[in-house]
Structure 1
Amino acid sequence: MVLERLEALPVGRFHYKLLLVTGLGWLFDSMDTGLIAFILPVLAKEWGLAPGQMGLIGSIGLIGMALGAVISGTVADRIGRKKVFTITVLLYSIASAFCALSWNYQSLLVFRFLVGFGLGGELPVAATLVSEYAPSRVRGRFIVLLESFWGLGWIAAACIAYFFIPVYGWRMAFLIGALPALYVCLIRLHMPESVRYLLTRGRVDEARQIVLSLEKQLHVPSALFTGETEPVPVVAKASFRELWKKPFMSRTIMLWLVWFGINFSYYGIFMWLPSLVFQQGFTVVKTFEYVLIMTLAQLPGYYCAAWLVDKIGRKYTLSAFLLFSGVASYFFGHASTAATLMMWGSVMSFFNLGAWGVLYTYTPEQYPTAIRALGSGWAAGFGRFGGMAAPMMVGALLARSFGFASVFYMFALVFAAVAVIVLSLGVESKQKDLESLSDELVKAK
């Protein structure tokens, strides 16, 4: 059988190349998202923006991300993961270049919306594609490693902000963010379509050819497929209504709430982090330096989560990382010196981004193949509403003279709440192949 042979493949060059190709897309996504956070304090000074206007610049991209995630997830279950991944990478690259040409506040809002649409569409589709190729024994680790490219992207954004913005200005930063357009060519050459997707669409011969090719690449002794009919996996219909039927309903509720909470906290914190640190009395250059140090802490957070996710499981790793993110947020709000600011900011980055990695692993595993991208896209899309609300809420709180500490008390409470939701509603899925998970879900109906 095609899927048995796909699952039996040893982890090799193909899997790491797929991780690298999709990971680079993730890196550029993150870099672009990070750049706007570093550009905001400079742009606010140059254009005389109020806190509410700064919040809207952060939120408008997230509105685009919400729509992009929902639409792209739906389309990816119909026309394929690879095509949608390519289109979305190209869209956000071109839109980022147009951001550099923005002539006023309104034009920047339009271009940031388009950037967000491309970003939101690419992320859940990439995670779905990698999860459908990685063997179950290493799937959790691979998805968390994929998400770790987000941390590399933020480091790249921080470096661009530190070295380029003070010298060349914010427009150059946006132009650098447009580089992924060149990367689209690599996608076509090195990324196959999902075998599981092809089987659900009845394209069995294409799926077999991909598996045969992979066996050859990985030096696995293989025989030609027999003329027997390939059983097509029994999966749910690709419709939004399926997400709200048993057994998917409780999983959908859990995922939507967790995605909302983690987006709310992440974008509320990190979109405003350079500006909030700057408001504590540090210079622009010092601000970028401190945020760069905090950002570096994301990488060990990812790698720790990558190790734990296949050891103690998705559910407990995710809830623990969310809870410790809340603790770090609380103490970050209390920071009164540069040393404590950087220490608690680094701890917050460590656990927050580790939680993101686990969530991207966990989400596709909650749905069968036919609605995997759809379910992942809707969860991510709903989560973006939290990301939209948070930057504007932070701006409103600051405009009404609420202090630095109050903002982070709010984020601490949100992290704690979503940690409880995962513990109470989450279902463990570590080291189960996707077909077993799909069968369990179908039987549960």
Structure 2
Amino acid sequence: MTSTTSGNRIDIKKFIDERSISPYQWLLVVLCFLIVTADGMDVAIMGFVAPSIIHDWAISRPEFGLVMSAAPIGLVIGALFAGPASDRIGRKWVLITSVFLFGVFTIATAFAQSPFSMAALRLLSGVGLGAAMPNSTTLLSEYAPQRKRALLITVMFTGFNLGSALIGFAAGWLIPVHGWPV
């Protein structure tokens, strides 16, 4: 990719590759890491809250299956639409929008009153997260210098395991005291 300013051509990839990692790039690594951490939390959380919800709503495990499958379906939908949308309107805007939607619908899930409403909110959360994951990876790849790209992406993806582990600790401590909505 090249850009022209005042008649001079700049090779943007070469420009990035020749410099040390800037504070802006480190910020991007941290933000992408947090997005992947949220994904890890989201994937693991239902395993911890499902027994409480099933008990509170007096429903069977098969009835709760719709809720359990909603987020992964949303992930697929979000991932399929994220690429073309990012190419049209920009990766940053799609990423910001998807993280916002994921956050709003995840918080709203705590107020769900039925399996159907929870499934709908989990589906929408999944769409947001499904759009965020590929965009965060691509955005970090574009901004990272070639010599550090693999390391930075690996660091980003360790957030998934951290998120899964953290939610286990948090759920084990919070759910018995405050219930599943917390």
- So what's the TM-score if we normalise by structure 1? 0.37
Letter matched to residue 48 of structure 1 = A
Distance in 2, Cα, partners of 1:72 & 1:24: 19
Which amino acid in the other structure matches residue 110 of structure 1?
Answer: A
Residue 79 (structure 1) shift = 1.1
Query: Which residue of 1 is the match for residue 177 of structure 2?
Result: 167
Distance 1:71 1:146 in 2: 22
Between the aligned residues of both structures, percent identity stands at 30
* Greater percentage in strand: 2
Q: TM-score, normalised by structure 2?
A: 0.88
Provide, for residues 400-423 of structure 1, a one-character-per-residue CA deviation record: whole Å limited to 9, x for no partner.
xxxxxxxxxxxxxxxxxxxxxxxx
Match of 1:68? 78
The counterpart of 1:100, out of the listed 103, 110, 113, is 110
User: Quick one: which amino acid aligns to residue 22 of structure 1?
Assistant: C
Say yes or no: does 1:111 pair with 2:125.
no
CA distance in structure 2 between the aligned counterparts of 1:16 and 1:157, rounded to whole angstroms:
25
1:48 aligns with 2:58: yes
* AA aligned opposite 2:102: Y
The gaps in structure 2 that reach 5 residues or longer are: 1-10
Partners of 2:22 and 2:76 in 1: how far apart? 34
Larger Rg: 1
Give the one of 3, 15, 26 matched to 2:25: 15
What RMSD over aligned residues (CA atoms) do the two structures have, in Å? 1.5
Partner residue of 1:2?
A: 12
Distance, in Å, in 1 between the alignment partners of 2:91 and 2:72 is 22
Alignment correspondent of 2:38: 28
Letter in 1 for 2:57: W
Structure 1: 5+ residue runs without aligned partners?
A: 173-445
Task: Give the counterpart of 1:154 among 154, 164, 180.
Answer: 164
Q: Secondary structure of 1:171's partner?
A: coil
Aligned pair 1:81/2:91, yes or no? yes
Distance in 2 between the 1:65 and 1:167 partners? 31
Distance 1:135 1:49 in 2: 52
One-letter identity of the residue aligned with 1:70:
L
Aligned partners of 2:64, 2:159: CA distance in 1, in Å? Answer: 27
* Residue pairs, 1:4-403, within 5 angstroms: 4-172=14-182
CA distance in 2, matches of 1:160, 1:15: 30
The CA deviation at 1:96 is: 1.1
